[in-house]
């Protein structure tokens, strides 16, 4: 689970971080994207956003890019009920999306462009909420444009940048990086090189160094 | 998620229960089998043991009776690390089994025979601990015999009963019941007709009626 990136993150004296690897179309990523920033701040860790695409991961590991929740409908039905309960527990709005999963490439590219910008968290939360609390079709460029305008961002410029070759290549490389780290689902967290999978492990991830100390 | 059984369980004034549906060869079932009785007692609910076989469920829903943790080795490697961490968190011993999953039919039949007996919980915990804390081969009748003797039970008589046609038929019916309830993994809990999947939901399941009230 080590990489040059981890080595930098764990340099003594470096700012403590938690990486949140998420997919815009993933229901449990919605929970973590909405919860992580406040919890990370309370734990004294800076949240590092890492958006990626699950489709290529599922394709390589399972032989199909479709969601495992669709491939096993019994598990899928339970998942929607579970997400509804978890949202109620955390006080998050929830409406089951009328289409799942929604194509997330455009929204993911823009989220990636914002990861080191002050607006990154706001855009990520707005996109996931659009998908899982408002049933808006985030696969459509006009909906992505509305979301960008909603959080007061220059929609035309960002949508144009999202379509440029370097942006496309960066998201491909990001997803390859996710695979190289043995990510198999979303959300996934990294704290000091330790990997945690699932919204249920967010608190454990943030408590990790303290327990380890 | 309703069945005649639930109707009985939720009769007003009836003793509050939590059903634990588990599989002897399932790592996350180990966590719940070890934790559930004390937590259920603290929550004022009687624990109802419900052992079943995951293989036929996986076969019907996924097209293979093998564990999804084996079918996706990337996910499987993470699972073992996660179970190790969860055991450390809960103060449970853990040793990764040298073979996974182990054939669980004999142990499951005996666990089922004990579900309404005072020794049911002790035997379930001893079998799961043998598999996941002691790396003993619970698929072998001589190991099951040792476990029965370890908890002071009549090994010969119970192993003989496990091989009788009514016992075999009862476990088949139990597993069919699991499928009919839309169970897709283990452990799974039922509280007042509400289904919760995974050791991570044990506390939520026990808190369910209070939150709902």
- CA dihedral sign of residues A180, A184, A186, A188: negative
Residue A51 has pLDDT above 60, yes or no: yes
**pLDDT of res. A15:** 87
Name the token pair of A73.
């409908």
Q: How far is CA A196 from CA A68, A149, A155, A186, B68, in A?
A: 19, 34, 34, 10, 18
- Smallest Cβ–Cβ distance between A200 and the set B85, B89, B200 belongs to B200
Tokens 């452990």 locate to B187
- Smallest Cβ–Cβ distance between B72 and the set A72, A184, A200 belongs to A184
A116 phi-psi bin (left φ>0, alpha ψ -120 to 50, beta other) = alpha
Which chain B residues are within 8 Å of A89, Cβ to Cβ?
204, 211
A195, B85: Cβ pair inside 8 Å?
no
Say if A70 is an interface residue toward chain B (CB within 8 Å): no
Residue A91 has pLDDT above 90, yes or no: yes
Grade residue A209 by pLDDT with cuts at 50, 70 and 90.
Answer: confident
Over the stretch B92-146, which tens digit does the pLDDT of each residue have? Answer: 999 999 999 999 999 999 999 999 999 999 999 999 999 999 999 999 999 999 9
Q: Which of A57, A59, A82, A198 to mutate to test the interface with B (most CBs of B within 10 A)?
A: A82
Contact B47, B20 (CB under 8 A): yes
Q: State the Cα–Cα distance between residues A22 and A54, nearest whole angstrom.
A: 9
Q: In what order do the strands lie in the sheet with B194-197?
A: B46-51, B17-22, B188-191, B194-197
Nearest to A192 by CA among A5, A6, A22, A51: A6
Tokens 């044990």 locate to B202
B72, A89: Cβ pair inside 8 Å?
no
Which chain A residues are within 8 Å of B205, Cβ to Cβ?
none
Domain annotation for chain B: domains and CATH numbers: 4-212 (3.40.30.10)
Say if A2 is an interface residue toward chain B (CB within 8 Å): no
Q: State the Cα–Cα distance between residues B23 and B54, nearest whole angstrom.
A: 6
pTM, to two decimals: 0.92
B61, A82: Cβ pair inside 8 Å?
no
Over the stretch A133-167, which tens digit does the pLDDT of each residue have? Answer: 999 999 999 999 999 999 999 999 999 999 999 99
Low-confidence ranges of chain B (pLDDT < 70): 1-13, 210-213
Grade residue A8 by pLDDT with cuts at 50, 70 and 90.
Answer: very low
Which chain B residues are within 8 Å of A204, Cβ to Cβ?
85, 89
Residue of A nearest to B62 (CA): A72
Nearest to A78 by CA among B207, B68, B181: B181
Over the stretch A117-133, which tens digit does the pLDDT of each residue have? Answer: 999 999 999 999 999 99
How close, in Å, is residue B56 to chain A by CA atoms? Answer: 14
């Amino acid at each position: 689970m080590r990489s040059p990136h981890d080595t930098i993150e764990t340099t003594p004296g470096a700012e403590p971080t938690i990486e949140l690897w998420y997919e815009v179309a993933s229901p449990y990523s919605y929970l973590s994207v909405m919860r992580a920033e406040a919890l990370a701040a309370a734990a004294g860790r800076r949240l590092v956003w890492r958006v990626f695409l699950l489709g290529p991961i599922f394709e390589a590991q399972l032989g199909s890019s479709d969601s495992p929740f669709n491939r096993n409908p019994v598990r899928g039905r339970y998942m929607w009920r579970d997400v509804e309960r978890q949202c109620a527990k955390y006080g998050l709005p929830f409406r089951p999306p009328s289409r799942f999963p929604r194509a997330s490439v455009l929204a993911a590219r823009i989220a990636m462009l914002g990861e080191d910008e002050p607006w990154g968290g706001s855009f990520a939360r707005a996109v996931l909420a659009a998908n899982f609390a408002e049933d808006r079709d985030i696969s459509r460029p006009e909906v992505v444009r509305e979301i960008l305008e909603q959080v007061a961002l220059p929609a035309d410029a960002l949508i144009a940048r999202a379509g440029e070759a370097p942006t496309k290549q960066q998201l491909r490389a990001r997803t390859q990086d996710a695979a190289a780290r043995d990510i198999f689902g979303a959300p996934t967290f990294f704290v000091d090189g330790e990997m945690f999978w699932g919204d249920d492990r967010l608190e454990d991830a943030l408590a990790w160094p303290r327990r380890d100390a």
